[in-house]
Amino acid sequence: MNANIVNFVYLLAGVLFILGIKGLTKPKTAVRGNLLSALGMLLAVVVTLLNMNTVDYSYVIAGVVVGSIVGSIMALRIQMTSMPQMVALLNGFGGGASLTIALAEYYAKLGTTPGSFAELLNPVVATSSAFGVGVEGTVALIAIGLTVLIGAVTLTGSLVAFAKLQELMKKSYGLPGGPIGNALFLIASLVAVALVVVDPGNVAAMVTVVVLALLLGLFLVMPIGGADMPVVIALLNSYSGIAAALAGFILGNTVLIIAGSLVGTSGLILTQIMCVAMNRSLANVLFGKMAEGGETIDADEVYAGKVTSAQPDEVAMILETAQRVVIVPGYGMAMAQAQHAVRELADAMEARGIEVEYGIHPVAGRMPGHMNVLLAEAEVPYDKLVEMDRINPTFEDTDVVIVIGANDVTNPMARDVEGSPIYGMPILNVDKAKTVVVIKRSLSPGFAGLPNPLFAMDHTLMVYGDGKKAVIEMTTALNQA
Amino acid sequence: MDILILLLALFVLSLFLGVELITKVPPTLHTPLMSGTNAVSGITLVGALLAAGNDGSPMLVNMLGFVAVTLATINVVGGYLVTNRMLAMFKRK
């Protein structure tokens, strides 16, 4: 096929990807946007297949069939509460694909046919001219090296993120050297990339890049805790995009570059949004612990004798007289699978003419937008989900706030106590409401490990127990009243 | 060299376009945005197809290509399907 036609179709695919993301700027146009984007992908794949000259289709078909089956099963069976795991896994596969493409391209250009794994390491006589004329050869080699590096880090990093989110890996392990150890690993991988660029036949150096980068991915994500996962997932998302764009430079393929850079920026912007919402720098999330507080705050001192607990039916009595209620969900709601129960409580309140809205903190849950998807699943209309900046001024006119499974994002110490480890983190000002109801298993601290003075305030009622059960009991009591 | 500069220009312009587009996506749709862009990053499938189907290249290259095609297809199929599933749930009252 004419190369111009192929490139024209790639351009068309790129435009469809852009329109697809543009569609995602409004919930109304989002479904259509996603379909446009999928159409672009189909076009790009079909034209690539048609354009291949002498093709051995067996590997291609085998890969497409296996991939389609696995992908469909994952997508159709996954629960909405497990969406962060799903995205982490998909990120990992994207990184793995870029890694293997770069390796395939490397060995293809070398033209070697190693018969065994041992032969893989044998040096080959080759110059950069095998990869392109003059500067282009060197650039192609740099792109291959970096794609292998980023692809491998994305692969293992995402798998660790998946294991942590799925709670297969509960503890946090890290390289003994901490950030310094990771930096040494990174430098060593970059040196190995440089060796490959200088002497493309140095196959051992290429294998070293692969091994070091796979390990680096493990060590980077292993020390990072659950509540910081939104940042990690967003960052790995951007890596998978950057790896795709780099692969585009290797193959001289325009659509890979357009698509890869769109994904790369998307991930970076989300990372930035998450970091701002936690008032922490990216370096601090990746390498630091939560800042140590000036003095340790004794939980007993905060809570002693000041915490009021209540039963669900008592809460229902307060709700009866309320005019405006705001529900603040957190990861605990996902854990308890309570989103449907919460919707039913909201329905019961609305039936009585109570105005109900949801206040969503940007880092509530384990990935950006996690709460919104869960509540959408429970058929809560999306215009009821109000972001932090818009809901905060309304708390003073709110009769009751129901906090379910959220902790740190409501902690007034972040606003009031200078020197507190979380000072400066933007929070939902739920304590400004007339009554605050907190549904929680116990007074145990959140991810930041801090007591929450909100729980001890005079107008706060603690409802202990399973979130789903407590909410259902409130609904029943409200309906009977 | 000419091609390289063109590709670089495309890359840089796409980055700026990405920033303009993504900053307009509302927080409500951030999860579908992530899974959707994930599917888009499965565009590496195009590169994978080229590697897997290259007749006459060493067996190792085809094998690596097969792995790449499988992983990228999971990304594409899984990503678009799950995004569609999620977006279909977002309804206005």
Q: Which residue from B44, B88, B91 is facing A98, i.e. has the nearest CB?
A: B44
pLDDT in tens, A178-231: 778 888 889 999 999 999 999 888 888 999 999 999 999 998 888 887 778 888
In a domain, B76, yes or no: yes
The whole-number average pLDDT for the span B11-31 is 94
Vertex A157: Cα angle to A288 and A444 (nearest 5): 50
- Tell me which residue of A163, A166, A169 sits closest to A81, measured CA to CA: A166
Contacts of B31 (CB under 8 A, 6+ apart): A83, A87, A367, A368, A369, A370, A372, A373, B86
In a domain, A293, yes or no: no
Q: Which residues constitute the domain of residue A5?
A: 1-77
- How many residues does this entry show for chain B? 93
Q: Do the chains contact at A87 and B65, CB–CB below 8 Å?
A: no
The pLDDT value given to residue A153: 95
Give percent above pLDDT 70 in chain A: 94
Test mutation, A54, A59, A82, chain B, max B CBs within 10 A: A59
Contacts of B16 (CB under 8 A, 6+ apart): none
pLDDT in tens, A400-449: 999 998 988 999 998 988 888 888 899 999 999 999 999 998 888 877 77
From A84's Cα to the closest Cα of chain B, the distance in A is 8
A294 band by pLDDT with thresholds 50, 70 and 90? very low
- Tell me which residue of A100, A102, A192, A99 sits closest to A151, measured CA to CA: A99
The mean predicted confidence, pLDDT, of chain B is 88
The mean predicted confidence, pLDDT, of chain A is 88
The pLDDT value given to residue A16: 96
Q: Is the pLDDT of residue B82 over 80?
A: yes
**Residues from chain B contacting residue A136 (CB–CB below 8 Å):** 1, 3-4
The whole-number average pLDDT for the span A350-372 is 92
Q: Which residues constitute the domain of residue B39?
A: 27-87
Instruction: Provide the whole-model pTM.
Output: 0.89
Test mutation, A262, A383, A385, A409, chain B, max B CBs within 10 A: A262
B70 band by pLDDT with thresholds 50, 70 and 90? very high
The whole-number average pLDDT for the span B11-15 is 95
In a domain, A292, yes or no: no
* Residues A1 and A95 occupy one common structural domain: no
Instruction: Identify the closest residue of chain B to A66 by CA–CA distance.
Output: B70
In a domain, A343, yes or no: yes
Instruction: Identify the closest residue of chain A to B26 by CA–CA distance.
Output: A25
Contacts of A113 (CB under 8 A, 6+ apart): B58, B59, B60
* Residues A341 and A307 occupy one common structural domain: yes
Q: Could you tell me which residue, A458 or A116, shows the higher pLDDT?
A: A458
**Domain end among A77, A95, A117:** A77
The whole-number average pLDDT for the span A72-96 is 92
Q: Do the chains contact at A97 and B72, CB–CB below 8 Å?
A: yes
SS3 A18: helix
Give percent above pLDDT 90 in chain A: 58
pLDDT in tens, A327-347: 999 998 998 899 999 999 999
Q: Could you tell me which residue, B51 or A282, shows the higher pLDDT?
A: A282
A–B CB contacts, 8 A cutoff, strictly below: 384
Query: Rounded to a whole number, what is the distance in angstroms from the first to the last CA of chain A?
Result: 74
The pLDDT value given to residue A325: 95
Structure tokens at A55: 């093709």
From B9's Cα to the closest Cα of chain A, the distance in A is 10
In a domain, B4, yes or no: no
pLDDT in tens, A320-332: 999 999 999 999 8
Instruction: Identify the closest residue of chain B to A233 by CA–CA distance.
Output: B34
Q: Is the pLDDT of residue B51 over 80?
A: no
Q: Is the pLDDT of residue B61 over 90?
A: no
**Residues from chain A contacting residue B19 (CB–CB below 8 Å):** 265, 269
The pLDDT value given to residue A292: 44
> Edge-to-edge, what's the strand order for the sheet holding A355-360?
A308-309, A460-464, A435-440, A400-404, A324-329, A355-360, A385-387
Q: Do the chains contact at B19 and A253, CB–CB below 8 Å?
A: no
The pLDDT value given to residue A290: 47
Q: Could you count the other beta carbons within 10 Å of the beta carbon of residue A348?
A: 20
Q: Is the pLDDT of residue B55 over 70?
A: no
Instruction: Identify the closest residue of chain B to A364 by CA–CA distance.
Output: B27
Q: Which residue from A108, A382, A385 is facing B51, i.e. has the nearest CB?
A: A108
The pLDDT value given to residue B1: 57
* Residues A66 and A149 occupy one common structural domain: no
* Residues A95 and A72 occupy one common structural domain: no
pLDDT in tens, A31-71: 999 999 999 999 999 999 888 766 677 888 899 999 999 99
* Residues A160 and A97 occupy one common structural domain: yes
Q: Is the pLDDT of residue A293 over 60?
A: no
From A63's Cα to the closest Cα of chain B, the distance in A is 4
* Residues A150 and A71 occupy one common structural domain: no
The whole-number average pLDDT for the span A127-154 is 87
**Domain end among A240, A260, A287:** A287
* Residues A327 and A459 occupy one common structural domain: yes
Contacts of A182 (CB under 8 A, 6+ apart): A175, A216, A219, A220, A287
Q: Do the chains contact at A101 and B51, CB–CB below 8 Å?
A: yes
**Residues from chain A contacting residue B4 (CB–CB below 8 Å):** 135-136, 139
B4 band by pLDDT with thresholds 50, 70 and 90? confident
Instruction: Identify the closest residue of chain B to A103 by CA–CA distance.
Output: B64
* Residues A148 and A18 occupy one common structural domain: no
- The tally of domains found in chain B comes to 1
Question: What positions of A carry a catalytic annotation?
Answer: 408
Q: Is the pLDDT of residue A1 over 80?
A: no
Test mutation, A9, A42, A100, A276, chain B, max B CBs within 10 A: A100
From B45's Cα to the closest Cα of chain A, the distance in A is 7
* Residues A249 and A352 occupy one common structural domain: no
The pLDDT value given to residue A180: 81
Q: Is the pLDDT of residue A310 over 60?
A: yes
In degrees and rounded to multiples of 5, residue A174 shows phi and psi of: -145, 175
Q: Is the pLDDT of residue A127 over 80?
A: no
The pLDDT value given to residue A404: 94
**Domain end among A77, A111, A139:** A77
Highest mean pLDDT among A47-61, A270-284, A290-304, A349-363: A349-363
The pLDDT value given to residue A230: 85
- The tally of domains found in chain A comes to 3
* Residues A325 and A384 occupy one common structural domain: yes
Q: Do the chains contact at B28 and A244, CB–CB below 8 Å?
A: no
Q: Is the pLDDT of residue A307 over 80?
A: yes
Q: Please check whether residue A55 is in contact with residue A129, taking contact to mean a CB–CB distance below 8 angstroms.
A: no
CA B77 to chain centre: 11
Here the CATH number for the domain that contains residue A323 is 3.40.50.1220
Q: Is the pLDDT of residue A313 over 80?
A: yes
Test mutation, A25, A203, A239, A266, chain B, max B CBs within 10 A: A266
Q: Which of A7-11, A249-253, B48-52 has the lowest mean pLDDT?
A: B48-52
